[in-house]
Amino acid sequence: MKDLMFMTGQNSLDQWQKKYNSKENQEDEAKKEISDAATLESEEHAIKRPLDEDELDSDTEIKRKKPKKKKKQAIPTEDTEGTGKKNKKSIRQMKKEKHAQRQADAALAAKDQLKTQCLSYLSQWKHDRQNWKFMKAKQVWLYKNKFSKQLIPEQQWPLLLEYFESAQGNIRKMLLDDANKVIKEMDDWTESQNENDGNDENEIDEDTKSSKPDISIYNRARSLIQCLQE
């Protein structure tokens, strides 16, 4: 009987010990779970927490120290530089040429207009004397261009001779001086040719050859002298 009571008490003690140990195990597991949760929360907080100024400065310095990739710049060669300069120069040259051409065209048009006006002035003197008025500028133009076949055509030359025949004073003397100068140049050239007749053609001075007056100018000078001296 005593033995049965002892065994019953022993069983109760063992059951109580198991329950106690089970409670301790549960508490340990709860503590472990709480510790793991706290560790996880601290890690998340560390990730979400903004960096301090010191940490930002240190991080920025690290980023600055990273070498930047430099873009490769094309090295200009002598050919490309020369081509660019040539293109720029050619454009400027083209503009200058166009401007010069416009000026030349304008000057030519002005000369043609003046030529037409002066020849009309001469024609009016002959055919419409009543409405004709003396204009010194047009007379000066006729005087300066009297020996030019381009400005005063051959069909207009007899009319110009008639106009100059009526000239008086200083203009008449100037006309005779110009005509006599042309005659003298032709006489000098003829004399130099006679002196070189005995020489070889290769020995003739080129300056002497080029100094011969134009035959049309010479003929106009002769007819002008004849007209003014009659």
Print pLDDT tens along the chain (230 aa). 545 454 555 656 666 566 656 666 666 776 776 776 666 666 555 555 555 555 545 555 445 555 566 655 656 555 555 555 555 668 888 888 889 999 999 998 999 999 999 999 999 999 999 999 999 999 999 999 999 999 999 999 999 999 999 888 899 999 999 999 999 999 999 988 887 765 655 555 555 455 788 999 999 999 999 999 87
Give the span between the Cα atoms of 151 and 137, in whole angstroms. 16
Residues near 178 by beta carbon (within 8 Å), at least 6 away in sequence? 146, 147, 221
Q: Are 152 and 146 in contact (CB under 8 A)?
A: yes
Residue 154: inside a domain: yes
Q: Which pLDDT belongs to residue 196?
A: 75
Q: Which pLDDT belongs to residue 9?
A: 54
Report how many domains make up the chain: 1
Task: Find the domain containing 130 and state its range.
Answer: 96-195+207-229
Residue 41: inside a domain: no
- Kindly report whether the global pTM for this prediction surpasses the value 0.85: no
Give the span between the Cα atoms of 147 and 179, in whole angstroms. 9
Give the span between the Cα atoms of 43 and 220, in whole angstroms. 119
**Stated length of the chain:** 230
Residue 162: inside a domain: yes
Residue 211: inside a domain: yes
Nearest to 142 by CA among 128, 156, 129, 131: 156
Residue 20: inside a domain: no
Residue 14: inside a domain: no
Chain-centroid distance of CA 61 in Å reads: 49
Q: Which pLDDT belongs to residue 193?
A: 86
Residue 134: inside a domain: yes
Residue 213: inside a domain: yes
